[in-house]
Amino acid sequence: MDNSGLYLEKAVDLIMRYAPKLILAIVVLVIGLWVIKGIVKVSRKSMERSKVDESLRSFLSSLISVILKVLLVISVASMIGIATTSFVAVLGAAGLAVGFALQGSLANFAGGVLILLFKPFRAGDFIDAQGFKGVVKKIRIFNTVLSTVDNKTVIIPNGPLSGGNITNYSTEPQRRVDMVFGVSYDDDVKKVKGILQRLVDGDSRILKDPEPAILLSELADSSVNFTVRAWCDSADYWGIYFDMHENVKLTFDQEGISIPYPQSDVHLFKSE
């Protein structure tokens, strides 16, 4: 038998040995891709019903798709007869190396997932976090974008953000405005309380329920301090705060109520 006949015989033998496995592997690959597409579609609809954030939905859908396709390829390769043990070991080692190299980014990613899942704040909320105060503009998978009150853009990594203290000023529809006003010890306490009550009653933004409170809160070193506690809609907080301070100063001036400067009495003794 010449060489061409030998090669033909080997080719026929290989085809007869591997053709059924190859055909089965192709069929499994096609069906597997179709099933994965269905699983991703169902999982995405499930997340939509659960009102999971859009950016997180897209990421998780892509992640599920990639993981399932990798598992499908490994399964198809083993069906053909390709040894997958070494491949899996190399893939695991590569994943471990990438994990160590990107541990900061992975921490930010994990923080982003937690923020998007548990929603300690949403886009449009005014928050105080990581030493910055501002309105949340965007919540990304790795970082969150704030716009400060003086219109600066601050980008905060989600890792420390999710693990730190967050004050959300927009969660509740109503807030309490606490203000302290000091007057002289010589001023009439009842008159001061009456003036403060009149100013509070005259501001329509201050809610009647809960009822505002005007309290003599402290006998300080240089002044008698009154605390005004008034409830309002969250959107009116700063307007009431600034307007009340201005109105109190103007009214105190008109009524002869003094706002004392810090002062101390110094006694001198002459030694003989």
Average pLDDT over residues 10-26: 68
Please give the pLDDT value at position 212: 95
pLDDT over 90, % of the chain: 38
pLDDT over 70, % of the chain: 78
Overall domain count for the chain: 3
Please give the pLDDT value at position 198: 95
Average pLDDT over residues 78-102: 63
Which range of residues forms the domain containing residue 225? 174-255
Say whether both 178 and 162 belong to one domain: no
Question: For residue 29, is pLDDT > 60?
Answer: yes
Of 161-165, 197-201, 252-256, 265-269, the range with the lowest mean pLDDT is 265-269
Say whether both 159 and 194 belong to one domain: no
Backbone angles phi, psi at 213, to 5 degrees: -125, 135
Say whether both 81 and 130 belong to one domain: no
Say whether both 90 and 138 belong to one domain: no
Backbone angles phi, psi at 100, to 5 degrees: -65, -40
Residue 114 within any structural domain of the chain: no
Quote helix, strand, coil % in the chain, to nearest 5: 55, 20, 25
Please give the pLDDT value at position 109: 80
124 vs 90, which has greater pLDDT? Answer: 124
What pTM value is reported for the model?
Answer: 0.60
Distances (CA, A) of 42 to 36, 64, 117, 168: 10, 11, 19, 34
User: How is the beta sheet containing 174-183 ordered, strand by strand?
Assistant: 174-183, 224-233, 213-219
Please give the pLDDT value at position 1: 47
CB 196 within 8 A of CB 226: yes
Say whether both 53 and 128 belong to one domain: no
Say whether both 126 and 163 belong to one domain: yes
Measure the N-to-C terminal CA separation of the chain; round to a whole number of Å: 138
For the stretch 158-206, pLDDT in tens is: 889 988 899 999 889 999 999 999 999 999 999 999 999 999 999 999 9
Is residue 147 helix, strand or coil? strand
DSSP per-residue letters across 37-55: HHHHHHHHHHHHHTT--HH
Say whether both 75 and 7 belong to one domain: yes
Say whether both 88 and 43 belong to one domain: yes
Say whether both 73 and 137 belong to one domain: no
Dist CA 126 CA 123 (whole Å): 9
Say whether both 76 and 18 belong to one domain: yes
Q: Which residue from 140, 4, 177, 115 is spatially nearest to 59, judged by alpha carbons?
A: 140
**Is the omega angle on the peptide bond into residue 210 within 30 degrees of 0, that is, cis?**
yes
Please give the pLDDT value at position 229: 96
